[in-house]
Amino acid sequence: MIQIVVIDDHPLMRKGLVMSLEAESDIKVIGQASSAEEGLSLIEQLNPDVAAIDISLPGMSGLELVKQLHAIRPDVKTLVVSRHDESLYAERAIRAGARGYVMKLEAGDVIVKAVRRIVNGGIYVSEEINERLLLGMASGHEGLAQSPLDILSDRELEVFELTGRGYGTRDIAERLHLSVKTVESYRARIKVKLNLGNAAELMQHAVQWVEGERSD
């Protein structure tokens, strides 16, 4: 029996994921959490085989949780289940230590397939992302040094992506459960790291990056 802890702050999304998983006779959801901190505590208590983790969590981000689990509990396989485009986050999730990446909009059978694959020692991403990862490894990530993917922190990348999708500061704050001041601070750091002069340049750069990554 594969035992799973699901960590997602959206009750309806979490319920749907749990239902898809528990429809299988060989899978059991043994715990649910709505934050990374709560999830970390649950994992220590319940010792699951797999942790299914959303990227956008209040407080510590999902990717930060993946990194922590990879460091302190490498026996627990992590599967990122996110609404974010795979093209934007899958590579970063795998680099952080996740064993798989599945979009929330994908069918339940895809998520079940991903769980079984990572429990059996494999990695689950789409063929397109797998090819990109292999190409990146073959080239040693040469030429990627100036990519936002490599320069920005996990939270900064989330703010950058949402900026590129046209969300304002207040909207981003609400979506990521942050204060407006914190989002403004992230924007300021992004501008410094990417050598952008003002908010207009930040917006333009973010839009171009989001559209470029999605069309690759």
Q: Where are the beta strands (DSSP E) in 26-177?
A: 27-33, 50-53, 77-82, 100-103
Q: Which residue has the tokens 């208590």?
A: 45
Question: In a 3-state reduction of DSSP, which class is residue 113?
Answer: helix
**What percentage of residues in the chain have a pLDDT greater than 70?**
89
Q: Return the closest-CA partner of residue 70 out of 86, 54, 94, 91.
A: 94
At residue 188, the pLDDT reads 92
Max distance between CA atoms of the chain, in angstroms, equals: 56
Look at the block and give the residue holding tokens 């799973």. Answer: 4
Domains defined for the chain, CATH in brackets:
2-138 (3.40.50.2300), 148-215 (1.10.10.10)
Q: What is the dihedral of CA 57, 63, 66, 67, to 10 degrees?
A: -130
- pLDDT at 57 (0 to 100): 86
Asked whether the beta carbons of 45 and 33 are under 8 A apart, the reply is no
pLDDT above 60: residue 144 = no
- Rounded to whole angstroms, the Cα distance separating 152 from 55 reads 15
Q: Which amino acid is at 91?
A: E
Q: In the predicted model, is pLDDT for residue 145 greater than 50?
A: no
What is the average per-residue pLDDT within 100-107? 84
Structure tokens at 29: 């959801």
Q: What are phi and psi of 30, to 5 degrees?
A: -100, -5
Contact 203, 163 (CB under 8 A): yes
Mean pLDDT of 196-203: 88
Strands 2-7 and 27-33: parallel
- For a pLDDT cut of 90, what percent of the chain falls above it? 50
- What's the pLDDT tens digit per position in 158-175? 899 899 989 999 999 988
The candidate with the shortest Cα–Cα distance to 77, out of 104, 97, 103, 107, is 97
